[in-house]
Each structure stands twice: as structure tokens, then as C-alpha cells.
Structure 1
């Protein structure tokens, strides 16, 4: 099937692919961001316990070492351009990043590509390359591959491309409970965050770069991104960010989580290639890490609440803070501010105001008398900052 004129226009060939010829392009797959060209290049039919887990998006490899990790997973080996067994190739526009991968389609005698979130299509061999005057968005083919000895030919439906992963439903449910509770208690914060997030999401596949880029990090830029990051630096909405990741259409939000999460132990290490660059895996790991954070907070918070009950006859405010659990909560720092506010909204007569004051200001308030109703309203006003 030929590409429609709107599909062709979205490729922006004049700016992105000066050698591409409309009449020589045959559509083989619909526009979708469920998988990108690196998925198509790798064709990884991995399963876990008999289930498929969508890859969704694999960021391009950075450098030779990561490239070779990808190839090993896909049972591909490098080969020369002249090798008649070559089945796949990578494009490179600069020496540190491979920007695109396509595969040889033997039936048609041409190369097949998935253009970011746009169509998958057959195209002439040099269709995505520089034309000698104008630069292609992807650069030029620089690395050819063939199947490893003994590896079977890949024949994979992109909708079932998968990597080994395991959803942690307990963590997902825990995150959803906290995020929904925060939204109910602080609706202005929920509205501001959702509005800014939706504005950023609308940029993911617009413009010359994002329309065809395979690199998810390209979406972490621009005015809408800057506004969202500025907001999340002022208002802790980590539960709501991770809740966004429960929607498969929001997987680029891993970059927002990484920008907002200041505790490096709760982020996926970029050196962990298959759990960082394979975005579905990073989503799963983030859910587990943040779910564990909520559980850790809950354990310490419950212990501290029990301590408060034990000293409930005391008139000395410092007695309510004199607890190992309180100290451990303080050590958890600003990443738990949203979790404190969620609990504070439900337990307004407790001592949450002192904990959040200690974390936000670096010390306990030192006050000897408290108007608890007014204190909650003060902290609520600080948490419900508008998007403007």
C-alpha cells in the first residue's frame, strides 16, 4: 500500500530525508508509538512465564559496547556491506549515537523501516541517507549485521515484540491508591499537574525532531517540558508521575520521574542497559522502586504514629518527635513530601506538620504550641501551587 499524502507529509522528507522518493515507498505498518525502529531492527521475541510484555520503545544504542549488547540479545553479528547474508543495518549521524535501524526485506528486495511513531515502510536502499548536499536526519548506514550462526530467521509480529519483564501489581496498586488519594485531597495540584503533563505530551511527536526521532530523550526538552519540570521542582508529585506510567501510552514519562526523583537509589541506572534503554523495563523497575519507597514510608510512619500514641499523655512536644522512626523519615528527605501530605490530609491531628517542616526547612519548628487546623491549611496552601 502506498503512503497517503498526509503520512508522507508527516515524514517531512524535504527536511529529513532528501533522497526518499514517495513513489518507491510502500506502507507495511500503521503509525503507532507502540514500537520504534530499534525494536524493528532488533526484533526481540522475548517472553516471561508464557506471557508477552510489550517492548514499546527501545532507545538507540550509545557507542560500540552498548551496540554489541543489543546485537547479542537479537542474535545478530556484524558483517561487511558486501556480505550477501546481511539482514539489518544501523545509521549513524555522529560518532556516539546510532539514530536508526532498518531490516532487509528479501521478498521485496528493499529495506524496511519504522520511522519513530510514524509508518513502517519499504524504501529504496539509499532512501534515508544523505544526498551529498543535504543531511539526512538519520545520517548514513554505518554498520551492517547478519544472523548469528545457527540463529533462525526472525519472523515477528511487532505487536508481540517483548522483553523479559514482570509487573509488580502490589506496587502498582499501592502507587494508584496514594496518587488517587492525593488528587482527592488536593484537586488544584492534580489539575495543575495534569494540564502541564498533557501539554508536554502533545509535543512528543510534533516538530522535525520528535516526529521521526527514535531517542526518547529528545522529548525531554522544549518549553512545555521546562514548564513541567519547573512545576515538579516546586511541588512533589512523584506518586502522580509514577501513576502516569501505568498507562502504556505515557512511557516517555520515565524522563520526568528521573528529573523529579532526587534519590538516585530509586532510579534505574543508565548502565543497566536493558532496564534503562528498553523503556517498558524502565517503567516496570520504576514502579517497583517507588512502590518500595511507599512501603518503606508506611512502615516508618506507622511506627512513629504508634510512638505518638505511647506518649499521648505528655505535654512536651519534643516527646512526640523523639523516635527512631521519626529520624528515619527525616532521612528519607524531600522525595517523601507527597507521601507525608497524603497522610497528613487523612490524619490532621497528628504531628505531620513537624515532620514536613523538618524536611522542608532542615530542622524542627521549635514551637511549643500549635494550632493544628491552621497548620494543615498553611501546608495545603503551599502544596496546592497553581501551574502559572
Structure 2
């Protein structure tokens, strides 16, 4: 737990070495997996940084006023996917001006220094250090949730394969198969809205409204959604390692702020995850076609992550983080 206690008569506490090391490792992992993404950020950040103390910009005397420089908006419009790169910059001495960029991107109060905490908020070096440490804690929480969701999705795949097997007796469970546990009941408003959305989608496809996507109708998924778009880069690292995994569903919800319309997307691509065979048995999508479809989905998200601004994929709506900017101005 990050310690927010600090007496202003004491020296500013140093940045936690573990948090600094984690920020550096996160940066290197992103640079290895998505070099164009990191290079684009660094070009834009360097252009903005070069104007911080520009004598030709005498009006930019505070961190907030430096957000009015023309070089700022290209960074802001990249969106929360750049959060860990901003955190990495904040881990470097003297980059405390970037606290304003971080606050404009971040929507999770648990990883922000609140303005009411006047001493920590206005002492920008302390503010920057706390952001790095709070993100270290978030990274650990998010990784635990990602691992739990990945395990559930894996179990869901095993269960689906058993149900789709034409030779497996219906009342027999192979010892080598691990069935997914029943989804944990969700009671949060966001979970209920997700359920309603999925029901409408499936109904429109002529499927049973109770046939919800087991990957997203579970507490493990909902915990990740609640963490907000600040974890998108961490999810994209998992996506790079497991390109046919379920990560596109989560990225879509975090960025577009609505569930992925799974059945409709596949129908447009000429695929359905399953069709009804004889005796109502579900026959799975051809594995080769499924892999190609999922790889295409990864390529789509990789292209957005590396080369596009946040709003280019949200369908015209205003992202929550941009609505959040006014509260920090």
C-alpha cells in the first residue's frame, strides 16, 4: 500500500525502487512488442517537453498551462493506452510537468493523487513519485485479474470442446478435462447492463437469450472492466503473447466502453462461433477458420494501438477520459 503520509518539513520521500524498476520493465516490454507505438509516443512527448521551458512561451508558467501548448493535444488524443509510458517518464527526475498529462488520461481515482491532498498534489516531484507507485500497485492487481480471467477462458474452451465432441457421451466427463466453474453471480449495475446488451444481441441473431458469452459473463472479466482503460497497454501485452486468445473482447470494452457484439461481428465476417447441427448439438467453428478470424482481430487492434488515436475506434462517442479533462483544468 502506497504511503501518502508526509510531513512538509521533511525531505521529499524517494521513489520506491520496486516501482521504478517495474515502470522501466513495462516500458521495455512495450518497446519490444509494439516498437511503433513507443516511438510515436516518444516523438510526441519530446516535442511537448521541448516547449516546457521555452522562453518564447512565457505564458506557460505552470504545469497546467503547459497543457495549452500546441504540442500537447497530439499526446492527449492518443488516450489512456499511453499511461504506462507517461508513468515511465514520471519515474525520471525532472519530468514532473507530465503529472498533468497523466491526470487528464486517468479515470481511476485509486491511481490518482487527489487535489484535496494539497501537499502531495502541489509538490509535483512528490506527486510524480506517488503516481509511479500507485501504478505499480495497479499493475500487480491487474495482472492477478488477467491471470484469473485467462484461466477461466481456458476452462471455458475445454468445456465447449467437450460439448462439441460428437463421440463423447453426454453424461461422461473425461478426467483430463477441466470444466469451467459456473460464473460468479454479478450484481453491479455495469454487469447488469452487460447482460442486457448481450441478451439483445443474441436475441437478434435468433439464439437463446440465456446463451451469454461465458468469457464475459463472469466476475473475473467484470473486475478488469472496472479497472478502466488505464490497463489497456497491459492487456495488449497479453494479447501480443496470445494472439488467438480472448483479449480483443476486453480491449473493445475498455476502449469503446461497451461490450463487443460478438455474434454480429462474426456474422459480418462470414463466421459464427457455432451453428446448430442435428439433434441440437453445437458444432464448433472450423479451427483453422477460427484461428484466422482471431488473428485478423488481433491485427486490427495492433494497428489501432500502434498507429491511431483513441477516438478513431470508439464510433463517434466522446471517451470518458476526455470528459474527465475538464475536472482537472
- Could you state the TM-score of these two structures normalised by the residue count of structure 2? 0.63
Is the Cα contact below 8 Å between 2:94 and 2:125 reproduced in 1? no
Question: Secondary structure in 2 aligned to 1:199?
Answer: helix
Q: Which residue pairs with 2:102 in the alignment?
A: 257
1:348 to 240, 243, 250: 243
Aligned-pair CA distance for 1:359? 2.4
CA 1:306–1:205: 2 relative to 1, 3 Å: same
Residue 177 (str. 1) matches residue 22 (str. 2): no
Is the Cα contact below 8 Å between 1:175 and 1:294 reproduced in 2? no
Is the Cα contact below 8 Å between 1:348 and 1:373 reproduced in 2? yes
CA 1:168–1:73: 2 relative to 1, 3 Å: closer
Q: Which residue pairs with 2:122 in the alignment?
A: 277
Question: Secondary structure in 2 aligned to 1:348?
Answer: coil
Distance of 2:57 and 2:249 partners within structure 1: 47
Distance of 2:8 and 2:134 partners within structure 1: 25
CA 1:254–1:311: 2 relative to 1, 3 Å: same
Residue 196 (str. 1) matches residue 41 (str. 2): no
Question: Secondary structure in 1 aligned to 2:158?
Answer: coil
Is the Cα contact below 8 Å between 1:189 and 1:386 reproduced in 2? no
CA 1:328–1:73: 2 relative to 1, 3 Å: closer
Q: Which residue pairs with 1:27 in the alignment?
A: none
Aligned-pair CA distance for 1:209? 5.1
Question: Secondary structure in 1 aligned to 2:94?
Answer: helix
Q: Which residue pairs with 1:112 in the alignment?
A: none
Question: Secondary structure in 2 aligned to 1:318?
Answer: coil
* 1:73-92 aligned within 5 A: 73=8
Question: Secondary structure in 2 aligned to 1:280?
Answer: helix
Distance of 2:43 and 2:60 partners within structure 1: 25
2:111 to 266, 269, 272: 266
Structure with greater helix share of residues: 2
Distance of 2:50 and 2:134 partners within structure 1: 28
Paired residue total: 226
Aligned-pair CA distance for 1:187? 1.5
Structure with greater strand share of residues: 1
Distance of 2:248 and 2:63 partners within structure 1: 39
Q: Which residue pairs with 1:324 in the alignment?
A: 219
Aligned-pair CA distance for 1:212? 9.0
Unaligned runs of at least 5 residues, structure 2 = 1-6, 162-211, 264-271, 274-289, 310-329
* 1:149-168 aligned within 5 A: 163-168=11-16
* Structure of larger gyration radius: 1
After TM superposition, the runs of 4+ consecutive aligned structure 1 residues lying more than 4 A away are 208-212
Is the Cα contact below 8 Å between 2:51 and 2:57 reproduced in 1? no
* 1:90-109 aligned within 5 A: none
Q: Which residue pairs with 2:71 in the alignment?
A: 224
Is the Cα contact below 8 Å between 1:210 and 1:218 reproduced in 2? no
**CA displacement, residues 197-254 of structure 1 (integer Å, 9 cap, x when unaligned):** 10111111113554994x3333222111223222x33x61100010011211322111
CA 1:211–1:222: 2 relative to 1, 3 Å: closer
Q: Which residue pairs with 1:385 in the alignment?
A: 307
Distance of 1:73 and 1:246 partners within structure 2: 21
Unaligned runs of at least 5 residues, structure 1 = 1-71, 75-161
Question: Secondary structure in 2 aligned to 1:224?
Answer: coil
Is the Cα contact below 8 Å between 1:254 and 1:283 reproduced in 2? yes
CA 1:73–1:243: 2 relative to 1, 3 Å: closer
- Could you state the TM-score of these two structures normalised by the residue count of structure 1? 0.54
Aligned-pair CA distance for 1:257? 0.7
Q: What's the C-alpha RMSD, in Å, of the aligned pairs? A: 2.4
Residue 363 (str. 1) matches residue 211 (str. 2): no
Is the Cα contact below 8 Å between 1:268 and 1:282 reproduced in 2? yes
Distance of 1:204 and 1:272 partners within structure 2: 25
Residue 291 (str. 1) matches residue 123 (str. 2): no
**CA displacement, residues 91-138 of structure 1 (integer Å, 9 cap, x when unaligned):** xxxxxxxxxxxxxxxxxxxxxxxxxxxxxxxxxxxxxxxxxxxxxxxx
